[in-house]
Structure 1
């Protein structure tokens, strides 16, 4: 049976392995470069072979050599070989498009779309992350001048990933920045669906990452969902009044000043287009104060729209001037400036 399955799977191992073991996605998408091992982590011990799509083979400098896709899956999933065979067989049977490369290209619909890959990347990043260790989140919260206890609030909606494979654009060119630690926060849309992850990149000590061009980025959303009313939901579930801010750190600062919750819309555009849950009668926007007035204008846009729908919107701006050397101030800046 296994020889027939190998023949049928030949040319499709990238789809098969990434579907059954999403933790291998970084390696599959790395163009055969070394990445952290999906099992023990590390820095750059694992890679797939150049003929991976034909054979499914991979190697880890620590764990050993895996000559074909069955061995790779057995290693990456912890399943027995019989369980792996069953999953591969079932997957192939459910995908009649997985036929020989000798067939006409026009008759072969792609078994994996870009949207599917986005979902797999989200799943892989989440599975790579620690479920119990919050040490980096605690260090980052403290480094921003916030109470360390708020790390638990954040961690209820996030995980820390110490082996996040990172690519960012620099002057129009995609640059591989290797492994960077990050906090991955769950982004929900207005239908209460978890649709994406927001990455807050850190340095090795848990402080803000100053190496990357963008220390805060969103991952592409998974397929089949709508991007609307999106936020990272921090704190208690609001009853009638909802606190909103742009940044996660700003939301935590609002909570440090006594509020039981504050949802972070991540950026001004999402703030302006936000629609609160039906039970919400009042929205308090803890807006950023920018020289460009981007944050205030987004809050005003939200206010004008929601007031027409019967929802009261109160806009609060940090009561402090913008330093000449800065582009803006937010409620975190204000909180940090308060005497402790």
Structure 2
């Protein structure tokens, strides 16, 4: 049977994902009308558990706070409609009227038909006719084959045409607005790297400055009290006294004190910045997203990068999601812990040279997102010959909370809620010696 070639459908889908998802997943309309903004999740409900990526027009991707990212439109539709890849490919191909590829058997049949037609035409043009084929004995009748069973209900896509979707005024207006936004984003991206360097090098001040009281208060409220000069050696945490906060439409909401963290690749090169907006008294600022990562310049990647809190020693390094979690484990064990900012980036974390053992201080979530990402990272690093140990908080998750992390442990139990540094080192040495890692 003929089929859709994935590369051809992907090419046709680029810049058409707004129309595609609107037609094939109408229950995602709320998100389509507010691209880049948090809205109710089309799968789990709630208020703000889902958003489409800002480059949705080109990629078709989005992220669910519970299930994680869907990197392109195919993954998104598979998740939204509970389809497999072939169902999704067929639905998108039909919607875009992409020409199907012939199967090998169909190509053979087509070639034979073309050959017969050309031969017959040559015979007519040459002035003689083709002899009639000899009559063959009648072929025995074979029992009729039962018709294939109908596809399951979930495979039905009710595909409509692209032209029909393009006739909807609100979709066309939104498409034009997203295209204008994409152009503005390109202009912004061209200046982005210079802006990142300027904020970090010219506008931020070191942790040892006397003017960083909001940052000190924020950390003190989370029991993060230890010698900051040790953290400052890696130069990944600074303070900005008045950093602009922009909403999802790019409008400046105001200026706030902020903790600014450098996200670096494993060679130490600055990739982008992570910001925690504060009040003057060290609380989280009253803004929609007090924790925000700046965009990544087009020629760089944040994959594998981290906030490098401390310098690894003895070949042992800790990894956590949030800055607060990383600093909590660092304070309790005196073993440097790097923060990957979120669970998705944890899975892709790249270990620097000289590290033979990684301690993953995993978040304990009701959705199991933190533990799943920790296990993905563990499996990948172990294939590289690196020892990996996952540590999950033992404390229960409160009924109204989404989860707990190691900063919650530090605040409720102090250092006694953590394995000690000497115990961890001895444990690692014993496991390495008996080959049970």
**TM bucket normalised to smaller:** 0.5 to 0.7
TM-score, length basis structure 2: 0.49
C-alpha displacement of 1:339: 5.3
8 Å Cα contact 2:226-2:331 kept in structure 1: no
Q: CA RMSD in A?
A: 2.3
TM-superposition CA deviations, 1:10-42 (whole Å, max 9, x none): xxxxxxxxxxxxxxxxxxxxxxxxxxxxxxxxx
Q: Find the partner of 1:141 among 219, 223, 227.
A: 219
8 Å Cα contact 2:318-2:361 kept in structure 1: yes
Instruction: Name the CA shift for 1:339/1:153 in 2 (closer, same or farther; >3 Å).
Output: closer
The residue matched to 2:247 in structure 1 has which SS? strand
The residue matched to 1:183 in structure 2 has which SS? strand
Q: Find the partner of 1:201 among 265, 277, 284.
A: 277
Could you tell me how far apart the structure 1 residues matched to 2:240 and 2:229 are? 15
- The yes-or-no answer on 1:241 pairing with 2:241 is no
Q: How does 1:8-23 map to 2 (within 5 A)?
A: none
8 Å Cα contact 2:238-2:259 kept in structure 1: yes
2:291 maps to which residue? 216
1:123 maps to which residue? 197
More helix by share: 2
- The yes-or-no answer on 1:266 pairing with 2:341 is yes
More strand by share: 1
The residue matched to 2:272 in structure 1 has which SS? strand
The residue matched to 2:382 in structure 1 has which SS? helix
8 Å Cα contact 2:263-2:273 kept in structure 1: yes
TM-superposition CA deviations, 1:145-204 (whole Å, max 9, x none): 2215448726842221121111022xxx44431111111111101332111111011112
Instruction: Name the CA shift for 1:259/1:148 in 2 (closer, same or farther; >3 Å).
Output: closer
Could you tell me how far apart the structure 2 residues matched to 1:312 and 1:123 are? 35
Q: Find the partner of 1:164 among 233, 243, 252.
A: 243
Could you tell me how far apart the structure 1 residues matched to 2:237 and 2:411 are? 23
- The yes-or-no answer on 1:187 pairing with 2:263 is yes
Instruction: Name the CA shift for 1:337/1:224 in 2 (closer, same or farther; >3 Å).
Output: same
Tell me how many residue pairs correspond in the alignment. Answer: 226
2:231 maps to which residue? 153
Instruction: Name the CA shift for 1:181/1:339 in 2 (closer, same or farther; >3 Å).
Output: closer
8 Å Cα contact 1:166-1:178 kept in structure 2: yes
2:373 maps to which residue? 298
8 Å Cα contact 1:141-1:151 kept in structure 2: no
- The yes-or-no answer on 1:323 pairing with 2:401 is no
TM-superposition CA deviations, 1:237-272 (whole Å, max 9, x none): 334121000000001100121223110011101101
Q: Find the partner of 1:310 among 368, 385, 391.
A: 385
Could you tell me how far apart the structure 1 residues matched to 2:332 and 2:303 are? 28
Could you tell me how far apart the structure 1 residues matched to 2:313 and 2:367 are? 31
8 Å Cα contact 1:134-1:151 kept in structure 2: no
TM-superposition CA deviations, 1:282-326 (whole Å, max 9, x none): 111000000000000000101111111111211000110000010
Could you tell me how far apart the structure 2 residues matched to 1:308 and 1:120 are? 38
Q: Find the partner of 1:279 among 315, 338, 354.
A: 354
Could you tell me how far apart the structure 1 residues matched to 2:363 and 2:232 are? 20
Gaps of 5+ in 2: 1-185, 416-437
The residue matched to 2:333 in structure 1 has which SS? coil
2:331 maps to which residue? 256
Could you tell me how far apart the structure 2 residues matched to 1:208 and 1:113 are? 31
TM-score, length basis structure 1: 0.62
TM-superposition CA deviations, 1:31-72 (whole Å, max 9, x none): xxxxxxxxxxxxxxxxxxxxxxxxxxxxxxxxxxxxxxxxxx
Could you tell me how far apart the structure 1 residues matched to 2:260 and 2:333 are? 25
